[in-house]
Amino acid sequence: MLAVVLLAPMFLSAQDSYHFVDGNSFSKQLFEIPATLAAAYIFVYFIITIVRLILDSRLKYKMIEKGVSDKVVEQILQPKQTDAKTQALKWFLVLAGIGLGIGLASAIRPFGIHSIAIITVCLALSFLGYFAYLKRIEKP
């Protein structure tokens, strides 16, 4: 489904395209639509995270007001297994993978569909690195 959404602008473009030196054309929408979807996802995820934090803290205060024991409050509102350090490492690897992919794509000209493939492979390798890190820290 995601592939259909990401590749639809390339197949549905009429005249709005970039023309490169070698005569190939590349749709501007192929970059605009995924970028818009990614920005919308990040914005909605941020809003949901803020709302969840606010509601968790309100629930915690309500439970304390009602006199529920600290053990029960702690069990209900246990933080997730991932801590801030692993989240920071994940975002570093993701952004580093995107940056490396964009750097490699800009070094290899002309821009085309292979540029997107380079960025995608670098991003996938960064997720693979994060997965390997998580597997390494899970071992006792």
More confident residue, 88 or 84: 88
Highest mean pLDDT (candidates 16-30, 53-67, 90-104): 90-104
Could you identify the residue written with the tokens 């549905």? 12
How far is it, in rounded angstroms, from Cα 50 to Cα 46?
6
The enclosing H or E element of 68 equals: none
- Say what the pLDDT of residue 126 is: 92
Q: Residue 80: name the closest of 61, 54, 52 by CA.
A: 52
How far is it, in rounded angstroms, from Cα 8 to Cα 41?
19
**What percent of the chain is predicted at pLDDT more than 90?**
9
Task: Judge if pTM exceeds 0.95.
Answer: no
